[in-house]
Amino acid sequence: MLIFPKYSRIVFVGDSITDAGRDRTAFPGGWGYGNGYVNALHNLLTAVYPDRALCTINSGVSGNDIVEMAERWQRDVIDLNPDYVSVMIGVNDAWRYFDGPLWQARLNTVDEFERIYDDLLDRTRREAPNLKGLIVMRPFMFEPNPADQMRAKIEEFAAASRRVAERHDAIFVDTQAAVDHWLTQLHGCLVSQDRVHPYERGAMIIARSWCQSVGFDWNRTDFDD
């Protein structure tokens, strides 16, 4: 059963995978969801649960690591008065380890990442008056080889995100499990050019894993009274 009651406001926050080209001029929850998994989820929730009148808000910002996301948390999460907050962060924190000197001047350790993540979810519990639940989506990569250097680094940050989810009683979305299952059948080049940023079909893999984690009923026919 879908966890979201009628009129729930669901804020999605993260990096470019969440942002996905969203319209920054859009009124939150009104339009401009981008071309990624948030747009797919907005359309799925609207199509299958029209009676719930759910409000989906995209607060992703391209390029963000956890430090940059934390700096805007008040404006882009708390001030939007969410009922639910869905977070996916960590791929840029891992990617910086493989970037050039400009980025490597400031690297976030896994311990720092986990501490900031804990602080953000603690703060959300305290300061978002209508909060009913948290959703943590782990960072992922369209790379089937777990020994790949970048994927191995992402796994470190993903393990931290799982620990954070457990401590804060958040729903944990194992996006990598969904990606790995898909990669047993088709090559990653069909869903992502750089193994990180998904095309729309890749975004649907991520959206489907989120749906499965929140009780989305794909076969629903009856609406609530």
Spatial CA neighbour of 188 closest among 141, 146, 221: 141
Q: Is 16 one of the annotated active-site residues of the chain?
A: yes
Q: Which of 51, 122, 169, 194 is catalytic?
A: 194
Containing 121, the helix (H) or strand (E) segment is helix 110-127
Coil, strand, or helix at residue 45?
A: helix
Q: Is 197 one of the annotated active-site residues of the chain?
A: yes
- Cite the DSSP H helix spans in 149-225: 149-167, 175-183, 200-213
Residue 74 CB neighbour total at 10 angstroms: 12
Q: Which of 19, 42, 93, 197 is catalytic?
A: 197
Burial group, residue 111, by CB count within 10 angstroms (0-12, 13-18, 19+)? exposed
Coil, strand, or helix at residue 214?
A: coil
Q: Which of 16, 59, 86, 161 is catalytic?
A: 16
Q: Is 194 one of the annotated active-site residues of the chain?
A: yes
Task: Please give the positions annotated as active site.
Answer: 16, 194, 197
